[in-house]
Structure formats: structure tokens, C-alpha cells
Amino acid sequence: MEAIIQTEDLSISFGGHVAVDSVSITIPSKKFTSIIGPNGAGKTTFFNLLSGQLSPTKGSIFYKEEEITKLSTTERTRLGIGRSFQITNVFPNLTVLENVRLAVQSQKKVRYNMIAHFRHFKQFEQKSYEILEKVFLLEKADSKAVNLAHGEKRKLEIAMLLALETELLLLDEPTAGMSLEEVPAIIDVIKQLKQEDDRTIVLIEHKMDMIMDLSDEVLVLFHGELLAKGKPEEIVQNETVQSAYLGGMYDEKQLT
């Protein structure tokens, strides 16, 4: 099994609080991995470390066996790490189409040719329309992103991530804050991504049925530490994980 991301002893602390504590994991290439854990377990912080928004206090990160610990977010995106955010992150005053076009044109293949924009402009727009179709947002292409419903914004965000054509997608709670009716549409989009098989997806989620349905492997974070990893069915059976979610572990940790 080939690894796309590997962390060694990865830690970050804010003041005295250790948010991610010596996490060493391997994320297999071309698989669907989910990260779960109670609120405040350090899941998003872990993503921030992988994507470069934060730099670790100690430990290292490898992407395809090359160390990327010191690289900036921009450089990591160029290598092929794309991420979505828990808080919706689109450009509100641009249209939906422009949001996607921005991502299309910042792909590795076309990026270094800033001047030749006129020739490619139609191509970019075409590509953007195709991606919008994939995430079922085509009819909203000319609306400003600020006017979209929350679920549509999340779809747009995924569309932008798709447009980047990164090998690795880090999805941070794509269904957060969504109404129940909106969730199935996002799951459809993610399923479709999963089928495009040269892609690795890492998902942070709370909805267990979604995790069970999609994941090849599940990692459990708790108090910044890696508590368990395994196939989804194993994780559900795992007693430590169960007690962590029920709060038992919390007391134990307080006592020691």
C-alpha cells in the first residue's frame, strides 16, 4: 500500500494546550480515509498542519515520501494537496462561475502562463461549466456566491477543489451547518469524487452513517492523540472509541 501522506510524531501546542499530540499516521494513496473524533479532538488542527495553515511545534510531514513540513500552503497546493474548510470559504462577491474559473486557472498546468490568458479564456470557462455540472450547480453559474444557500456554497467549494485537480482532497466537515435536505446532495457529490479513482480523499465528519458508507479506513483522534485506526466496521466495534465518544475516557484522562 502506497502512502500519500505520512506524519511522524506530529505535534502542535498553543500555549500550554497540546492540540495535536505526537500523531504518526500513514494515509494510503487512492483510498478514502475518514477522521473522526469528538469536538475539540484536534481534527481541524490536524488538517491545518497537513495543508500548511499552521506549522507544527514538532514532528514532520511527508507527501509522497518527500518532506513538506516547512513548505507554505501555496507550495503544498502546487504539489497536490487541496483542502476545503469547515467554515465555508468561497469568494462572496464573485459569481459562482468566477469562483470556479479562479481555481481552474490556478492549476499547475496553466499557472505559469499568466500572459496567455486571452487564448485560454474560453477554455477556462468551458472547464468551469463542466465542473459546475458535476456538482449540480450549473444553473447558478451567474449568481454571486454570497447569494447561494449554505448547501450550495459547500458544493461550490467542492467544485473549486475539484477544479484544482489536486491528487489529495482534504474535506473538512462538508456537511457542517447543513439542513437535512441538503446533506444527500453533498454525499452524492462526494461519492462521485470517490469514483474518480486516481484521487485520495481524507474526510472529517461527524455523521457516522456517512463515514460507514464511504470510508476505506477510519482514524480516530481524541485529545489530540491518535486513539484508533482501522476499517469502519472495526472502529464501530472498538470499545475505547465507544467510551471516548461517551465521555468515559475524558474522566480517566483528567485523573492521571
Partner 1 sequence: MDLVFSLLINGLATGMLIFLLAAGLTLIFGLMDVLNFAHGGLFIWGAYTGVWFYQMSDSFLLAIMVSIITGLLLGLITEKLIVRPVYGNHIQQILITLGFMLVLQELIKVVFGPDQKAVFPPGWLQGSFMVGDIVIIKYRLFIIVLGFLVFFLIFFILKRTRIGLIVRAGVIDKEMIQSLGINIRFVFMLVFMVGAAMAALSGMLHAPYSGVIYAEMGLEFSILAFIVVVIGGMGSFTGSLFAALLVGLAQAFMAYYFPALSLAVNMLLMATVLIFRPQGLFRVKG
Residues that bind partner 1 (CB under 8 A): 51, 53, 72-74, 77-78, 83, 89, 91-94, 98-99, 101-103, 105-108, 111, 114, 117-118, 120-121, 124, 146, 160, 164
Nearer to partner 1, 150 or 231 (CB): 150
How far apart are CB 169 and partner 1 at their closest, in Å? 13
Q: Measured from the CB atom, is 105 or 200 closer to partner 1?
A: 105
Beta carbon of residue 28, minimum distance to partner 1 (angstroms, whole number)? 24
Considering the complex, what minimum distance in angstroms separates the CB of residue 212 from partner 1?
30
Nearest-5° Cα angle at 236, 232 to 238: 110
* Cβ-contact 198, 167 below 8 angstroms: yes
> At its nearest, how many Å lie between partner 1 and the CB of residue 121?
7
Nearer to partner 1, 11 or 51 (CB): 51
Shortest reach from residue 6's CB to partner 1, in Å? 21
Neighbour-count burial of 220, counting CB atoms closer than 10 A to its CB (0-12 exposed, 13-18 middle, 19+ buried): buried
Nearer CB in complex with partner 1: 98/182: 98
Which of the 8 DSSP states describes residue 146? G
Strand order in the sheet with 168-172: 81-83, 168-172, 200-204, 32-36, 217-222, 225-230
Is residue 51 within 8 A of residue 73, CB to CB? The reply is: yes
Q: 58 or 150, CB closer to partner 1?
A: 150
CB 106 within 8 A of CB 166: no
